[in-house]
Structure 1
Amino acid sequence: MDCVSNAAQETDTVLYASAAASSGAPYVEEPVAYDAILLSSFGGPEGQGDVIPFLRNVTRGRGIPDERLEEVATHYRHFGGVSPINAQNRELKAAIEAEIARRGLGLPVYWGNRNWHPMLEDTVREAYADGHRTVLALATSAYSSYSSDRQYREDFALALGPVEDGGTGLGLGDDPMTIDKIRLFFDHPGFVEPFFEGVRDAVAAWLAEGRPASEIRILFSTHSIPTGDAERSGPRDRDFGEGGAYAAQHRAVAEHIMKRLVAENPAAEGIDWTLVYQSRSGPASQPWLEPDVNDVIAELPAQGATAVAVVPLGFVSDHMEVLWDLDTEAKESAEEAGLAFVRTQSPGVHPAYVAGLVDLIEERLNGTPAAERPHVTDLGPWFDVSRPGDCENARLGFRPAAAGIAP
């Protein structure tokens, strides 16, 4: 990996980037003739026999024995060994293709996963064989963190890198493939709209029952991450406060949703909300973002709450963390606490979300100026080209990553 690693340490180097993105400017404000879209996701098992091999891929390099992996495997086995994420990505891919066709953009959509088939490296080979060289990636993660942003960029760099390092070598040589990445879309209106609708409808139903606003709680839930990684999320030259850019982005979106809720329905004034975390893993000695969603639910009756809506704000679809951690465990916690419970919708293939993703693709095709890009918080629009040091992994440090300035 020496040749890629050395390049990654040079100031202002942008690995495997299109000519327009290789300057390292935060926003690409000139048209780029992308010839394919790469939908990139986490991946998931599709049968009982896939579960442990899949979890080995997820935890590769950590030396976790199969006995410990089996503890997590029970969540998947509860659903027949099948994660819903692959089926959801097939549905999302089809919806994006339909919207691209409706707009006459003429771009094929390829799909490759980090941890299970179709694997990213195989998808890169397929796209290259089909003649595509200037690819725009869409990762199914909206926020800043190592696992939701930089790790995808590392995946792209590894896939395009030297064969001897496990890559395809297709980003090297005289006819290389490049992969850029659309900006993080946490505050794009298309992504936020489904969450707002879910909160609006849950609150309206409870208010119509005569439940006082003071008895309703909204918990915006996202995946917990190690606090060390959270502190390193986002550009290093900006202080985002506790939890880094990761927590700040979630808080900003939640604040927008609640302000809009009250503006459209004044009867919702007085409803309290909290950002909570779920799906923690790792050793107990390692600090992760808190509070846990179940701990917060348990405390709500003492605060006078009688109803709780849990909003899966950190997730783009109803995959395993939503089905198990929210629809199973959080729901059980609410039942034990005697609370009315609603888990609101995730974006999935909501028309606003799908249209928003294709808007983001067109943004890059057209080189839309940053000042004209839609966003609902003061944090956006986020960058096209990640800034130096963005989303470092506290344990691994910096590894070569595409679509951003090194390191």
Structure 2
Amino acid sequence: MVYDAFVLLSFGGPEKPGDVMPFLRNVVRGRGVPEERLAEVAEHYMHFGGVSPINQQCRDLLAAVGADFAANGIDLPAYWGNRNWHPMLEDTVARMRDDGVTHALGFATSAYGGYSSCKQYWEDIARARAKVGPGAPVISKLRQFHDHPGFVGPHVSAVREALESLDPSRRQTTRLVFTAHSIPVSMAETAGPSGGRYTAQLDETARLVAAEAAADLPWDLVWQSRSGPPQVPWLEPDINDHLAILAKEGVTDVVVSPIGFVSDHLEVLWDLDNEAAETAEKLGLGYARAATPGTDPRFVALVRELVLERTAGQPRRRLGTLPIWDDCPGGCCPAPQRRGAASS
């Protein structure tokens, strides 16, 4: 197979206050979410001046990947397209077509399986190509990478650094808390070849990071950024509820590691650096939030390695044992029922 471009696939985010509500309407399009709920979520963005850091983080990653490609002899022009805000993927696909691209490799800013984290990117690609029409380039999504050393390693280093910021005399009462975006229980329990892949992969990543970063400490996998009506069950416990439980159990300090994310975008900054940090302070817990990979050179090299798996038959580097595949099997990760959810 011959590939002639690379495209970064991401979620997108507002870059000025006037973008916030239009962006949120894009996120929840077709779900019937009331404007008052969107206004509540909009306040999270306004707390940061109406700007989500995710777009700049994508620019930084794309620049780092481009430099890494050039240094390693990979001659692929790099593009970037988002699901929910500019640059929209359909606009990027149109530009790729105009540039003569025929078959690109797509890298999504999510390490895991599941509907929103994986399959929806396939749907984004299909929708963008259909809108562009004749001549739209094929885009083949690169595989999930939850157990790749280039993803696990930066999380390990970040946990170690966070631990060093806490009181070493309280090590025996310190706990690691790994977080990821919550999803509806119905999505997490999907039947079929990929059923439960999201939670299983996150559990494997947490185990790998904990074993390397602090094997002497107990750890938990909990959830953040829940959205949707309260009557719809989502994965629990929420990070804030879990911190309260830990405090009652005699835990004095926590390291919170957002292994569900590749960069410190708004859900990390709001849900962890704001809400969870405030919860920990009220509970009297020492609190340190570990960083995400961002543009760590190991993570940038991961992107190159995934490309070389496809273009040069390079062996897969993996630390885990769960099954993975390049193309999702039929029927995997069906879309959730829309009941008025809005994400932060």
Shorter-chain TM-score above 0.5: yes
Q: In the alignment, which residue of structure 1 is the partner of 2:342?
A: none
CA contact (8 A) 1:236 1:388 kept: no
Alignment map for 1:344-383 (pairs within 5 Å) = 344-368=290-314, 372-380=315-323, 382-383=324-325
CA contact (8 A) 1:38 1:110 kept: yes
CA distance in 2, matches of 1:318, 1:188: 19
CA distance in 2, matches of 1:38, 1:52: 27
Q: In the alignment, which residue of structure 2 is the partner of 1:43?
A: 12
Give structure 1 stretches of 5+ with no counterpart. Answer: 1-31, 162-166, 263-267, 397-407
Letter in 2 for 1:315: F
CA distance in 2, matches of 1:54, 1:204: 38
Q: Does 1:188 align with 2:130?
A: no
Letter in 1 for 2:163: V
Overall identity of the aligned pairs, in % = 51
How much does 1:394 deviate? 3.1
Q: Does 1:274 align with 2:274?
A: no
Alignment map for 1:328-407 (pairs within 5 Å) = 328-368=274-314, 372-380=315-323, 382-395=324-337
Q: In the alignment, which residue of structure 1 is the partner of 2:177?
A: 219
Letter in 1 for 2:336: A
CA distance in 2, matches of 1:283, 1:67: 13
Q: Does 1:89 align with 2:49?
A: no
Q: In the alignment, which residue of structure 2 is the partner of 1:296?
A: 242
How much does 1:386 deviate? 0.8
User: Over alpha carbons, which structure has the higher Rg?
Assistant: 1
SS in 1 for 2:169: coil
How much does 1:203 deviate? 3.0
Letter in 1 for 2:225: S
CA distance in 2, matches of 1:43, 1:113: 5
Q: Does 1:320 align with 2:278?
A: no
State the aligned residue count: 338
Letter in 1 for 2:133: G
CA distance in 2, matches of 1:176, 1:331: 46
Letter in 2 for 1:236: G
CA distance in 2, matches of 1:205, 1:328: 18
Letter in 2 for 1:196: V
How much does 1:168 deviate? 1.0
CA contact (8 A) 2:174 2:254 kept: yes
SS in 2 for 1:212: helix
Alignment map for 1:1-400 (pairs within 5 Å) = 32-161=1-130, 167-170=131-134, 175=135, 177-206=137-166, 209-213=168-172, 215-232=173-190, 236-237=192-193, 244-262=196-214, 269=216, 271-368=217-314, 372-380=315-323, 382-395=324-337
Give structure 2 stretches of 5+ with no counterpart. Answer: 339-344
SS in 2 for 1:314: coil
Deviation per CA, 1:81-123: give whole Å up to 9, x if none.
0000001101011000000011111111100111000010000
RMSD: 1.5
Normalised by the length of structure 2, the TM-score is 0.95
CA distance in 2, matches of 1:203, 1:176: 48
Letter in 1 for 2:237: P
Deviation per CA, 1:285-324: give whole Å up to 9, x if none.
1000011000011111221111001001100100010000
Runs of 4+ in 1 over 6 A off after TM superposition: none
CA contact (8 A) 2:256 2:290 kept: yes
CA distance in 2, matches of 1:335, 1:192: 29
How much does 1:230 deviate? 1.3
SS in 2 for 1:210: helix
SS in 1 for 2:20: helix
How much does 1:205 deviate? 4.8
SS in 2 for 1:127: helix
Deviation per CA, 1:235-294: give whole Å up to 9, x if none.
8136x6xxx1111101111111222235xxxxx52x111000000000111000011000
CA distance in 1, matches of 2:73, 2:263: 27
How much does 1:201 deviate? 2.5
CA contact (8 A) 1:217 1:305 kept: yes
Deviation per CA, 1:135-171: give whole Å up to 9, x if none.
111111111111111111001011112xxxxx1114x
How much does 1:176 deviate? 5.3
CA distance in 2, matches of 1:303, 1:347: 31
Letter in 2 for 1:388: G
CA distance in 1, matches of 2:73, 2:313: 18
